[in-house]
Amino acid sequence: MLLMITTAMVTMIIPILLMTICAMISKKSIKDREKMSPFECGFDPMSSARTPFSIQFFLIAVLFLIFDVEIAILLPVIITMKWSMNTMWIMTISSFLLVLILGLLHEWKNGMLEWM
């Protein structure tokens, strides 16, 4: 019983002690305007960090990620070809590639891939 009380006291004292030390160490000195401003090579920022970006660039980046992930999905399928039936494997890969190609054609038809 004494061991449990001692353990409970130690497990309560150590975190409280650590939090107190951290609070004392992390006290900020004078909040200076220069210290609180974003650092950009020692100069004040010329413009806002919230500048707009191109939606077209965003769409192409998303397309790249989609095709990149799908290639990562296709690579292990080649290894599993040894253990699966060939007709089922061919049907699965063909349907997967068909969905990919139809999606790409749809995006091409809607003009999402044109950079203008």
For 44-90, what is each residue's pLDDT tens digit?
556 666 667 777 788 888 888 888 888 888 788 777 777 777 787 78
> Packing angle between helix 86-109 and helix 55-80, nearest 10 degrees?
170
Q: Is residue 7 part of a domain?
A: no
Find residue 40's DSSP bridge partners.
43
In a domain, 33, yes or no: no
Spatial separation of the C-alpha atoms in residues 11 and 27, rounded to whole Å: 25
| 27 belongs to a structural domain | no
Task: Please provide the average confidence, as pLDDT, over all residues in the chain.
Answer: 79
Give the phi and the psi of residue 43 in degrees, each rounded to 5. -110, 160
Yes or no: say if 111 and 58 are a contact pair by the CB < 8 Å rule. no
Tell me if 73 is assigned to some domain: yes
Number of domains in the chain: 1
4 within a domain of the structure (yes/no): no
pLDDT at 30 over 60: no
Q: Report if residue 29 sits inside a domain.
A: no
Coil, strand or helix at 40: strand
Both tokens assigned to 62: 């998303």
Q: Is residue 101 part of a domain?
A: yes
User: What's the domain range around 75?
Assistant: 55-109
Q: What is the mean pLDDT of residues 101-108?
A: 87
